[in-house]
Amino acid sequence: MPAEDDVVIPGAPASEPPALEEPTTPREPLPPKPDQRGPEAVSPTGSPTGAPTASRAQSGQYLTTAQGLRLQDTDHSLKAGARGPILLQDHHLREKITHFDHERIPERVVHARGAGAHGVFRSYGTAAKVTKAGFLAPDVETPVFVRFSTVLGSRGSADAVRDTRGFSTKFYTDEGTYDLVGNNIPVFFIQDGIKFPDVVHAAKPHPDREIPQAQSAHDTFWDFVSLHTEAQAHTMWNMSDRGIPRSYRTMEGFGVHTFRLVNAAGDTTLVKFHWKPKQGVHSLVWEEAQIINGMDPDFHRRDLADAIEAGAYPEWELGIQAFPDTEDQMFEGIDLLDPTKFVPEELAPVQPVGLMTLNANPTNFFAETEQVAFHPGHLVPGIDVTNDPLLQVRLFSYLDTQISRLGGPNFAQIPINRPHAPLNDMLRDGMHQTAVHAGVAPYRPNSLDGGCPFLAGQDMGAFVDVPEAVAESIKERRTPASFDDHYSQARLFFRSLGAVEQDHVIQAYTFELGKCFETPIRERQLQALANIDAGLCAAVAAGLGMPAPEATEQVPDRDLSPALSQLGATWPVAGRVVGIITDSSSDLAQVAAARTALDGEGMVPLVIAPTGGTLSGDGLSLTVQRTFLTARSTEFDALIVAGGQVPAPDATAGRDAKAGNPAGSPDPRVAIMLSEAYRHAKAIGAWGSGSDVLAAAGIPAEAPGISAGDAGAPVAAGISSLLAAHRAWDRFPATGQPSQGN
């Protein structure tokens, strides 16, 4: 049986364990942890330096000023006597405090709360026939940095809120940096970017009280989306389980807009980009998300970092939906320039073009994740934009935002943003200029610098804007008539979901609208729901104690899209977290066998015990990762019970309110964990006395999603099989699919 250290448990904060006493022998800084990697070492002008990625980290054994002057004291200010006033000449104090005062940069207006990781993208070459983009040629590997985020909350908000998630990828190609800046929802709230300040102002906390934070369950949001009915499609996605993903690793990504690809012959194709997670698309349930936001507000960023540290590298396939580049830019009656519309995969299959693997955590969150700057206008030859009116505004807005947020126009020189291609841009000076430019002629044509830089021809990889014809027209402020359908895709999405998922949508609308104070806003949104689906509207209205209105618009029915449902398939289980509940009476040999079996499937097994430390017996010693006090069901995808019958010493209301007043077996915290996991349709396993614990917690052994047996390894195998479907949804039958008739 493998040694315990063979099972990688993520979470160590440093690359080596700390000493008990304060270290006093000078030494070089510790290296990064094995799971970490910094930005590639390139110069501010894009030249490879050959230096290791850690070369920008601090160096030397001794504390210095920012100019390299060694210091003998950083704990005491320079004063006029031990009790005297501090002297203005204390240069170290002023440098240290001034820098601290300016440590925080303005956070992003939206997508402020995020997490990032390094990785690599390997192209399959299947896109080569529609684009000349070099990073999509056969077998090309390209370094990437990805940032995931919520939209509404501040940097200090919680992760598992109901919200849209950002999914942005920076490709460091040898033709320049390409940014695919998207979301986990393929449609957007608005059709024209001029409304972007409005929807964000409506969704953000109310300006008078700065509440509620990181949520859409309030009057201004629903006032906006009920008046701007083009937002109903995106809102429907947000009210579905897509709004509360299980993790970034199990989240789909979309480029949202339609882009134009150009191949080597100059032929053009319209496409939509998709990221498909190899582990499948999975979500939380609402009560689970609420508990998580109290117990672990960092749930999603911790999950991403821990998975990478444990070697369970997240993977996504990049795919494209391809459409003919026709003059009307329509496909099957869907306007491809309308960002509130998606194209069902049954009409245009997603064709895989490459695989992205995230395999390293950042070395420094601020330097990388916080300072990374994305822009949909960062393009490469072979990829161009379209006239989508939301995309057109983003091309201006993102660049403008980065200049403000990152202190000037030279944000591309920050290491995480530096291109991995030669750079000769004739841009000079400005705040935070770190390149030392040579030459005297930053203009062209010139002769004083030998004519450099020169213009590149198309045959030398230059970017050439697609020469699209612009029809004669009138200057005006309006959208085409094809943008006027605001309900059919929301109906298509809702009716394509499984009955369980539809129940969750009903619950989400009822909760969110129930938080609105003003009755007219609830009435207005119910009217929109009536136009989408009568059964949905009736169920939400009943929950609000309000009458359900009749539809006011005739909405066309479309063929359903089974691809929109998250249910019905099986997926790899690598990276799933399984808690093993133990105590002093547990058979540690069986616990070790279960851990080995789970680890062999790429899962992360965590031992939960009454207290911290180790469990010893049977010639084994197992480290405890969680205790009954610190564990909660929401951290785990599944639970296995191998103990927990005897209440722990701190199982008193005065020490832990969750413990209540224990009257016997099992420990009340164990009962809570199991009850929550059961309610949330999670897989639960048990063997031996663990089955008695399940019975004491009121969990029937014959219920769906229960793996019972006589030994650890078979129970772990059963858990693996159950987790492949994510949840045991058949444990709780849906209340019934709402009427689909109007």
Considering only CA atoms, which of 416, 169, 493, 151 is closest in space to residue 317?
169
How long is the chain? 742
- Residue where the block lists tokens 């994510």: 726
Which tokens sit at 19? 């000493």
Report whether 118 contacts 143 (CB < 8 A).
yes
Which residues, at least 6 apart from 425, have a Cβ–Cβ distance to it below 8 Å?
Answer: none
**Interstrand relation of 620-623 and 604-609 (parallel, antiparallel or unpaired):** unpaired
Cα separation values, 135 from 293, 377, 460, 726, Å: 39, 17, 16, 34
CA atoms of 98 and 87, how far apart (whole Å): 15
Cα separation of 154 and 680, whole Å?
28
Q: Is 410 left (phi over 0), alpha (psi -120 to 50) or beta?
A: alpha
Contacts 24+ apart (CB under 8 A), 199-202: 199/224, 199/228, 199/231, 200/109, 200/110
Cα 605–chain centre separation: 23
Report the amino acid identity of residue 258. Answer: T
Q: How far apart are CA 732 and CA 287, in angstroms?
A: 15
Contact, 8 vs 33, CB < 8 A? no
Q: Which residue in 171, 166, 167, 168 sits closest to 127, CA to CA? A: 171
Structural contact between residues 347 and 331, judged by C-beta atoms closer than 8 angstroms: yes
φ and ψ at residue 125, rounded to 5 degrees? 90, 0
Bridge partners for 620 per DSSP: 617
* CA neighbours closer than 13 Å in the CB half-sphere of residue 406: 27
E strands in 70-211: 114-123, 141-150, 165-173, 176-183
The closest of 124, 125, 65, 62 to 98, measured between CA atoms, is 65
Instruction: Count Cα neighbours of 561 within 13 Å in the Cβ-side half-sphere.
Output: 20
Query: How far does Cα 585 stand from its chain's mean position?
Result: 40
What radius of gyration do the chain's Cα atoms show? 28
Q: What residues are labeled active site?
A: 111, 183
Cα-based torsion angle of the residue sequence 372, 377, 383, 384 in order, rounded to the nearest 10 degrees: 160
H runs (alpha helix) in 245-313 = 286-295, 299-309
CB atoms within 10 A of CB 63: 13
Going by C-beta distance under 8 Å and a sequence separation of 6 or more, which residues neighbour residue 355? Answer: 121, 122, 124, 315, 316, 317, 318
| Amino acid identity at 304 | L
Query: CA nearest 526: which of 511, 508, 513?
Result: 513
**Element housing 396 (H / E):** helix 389-405
Q: What is the C-alpha to C-alpha distance for residues 458 and 337, in angstroms, rounded to an integer?
A: 27
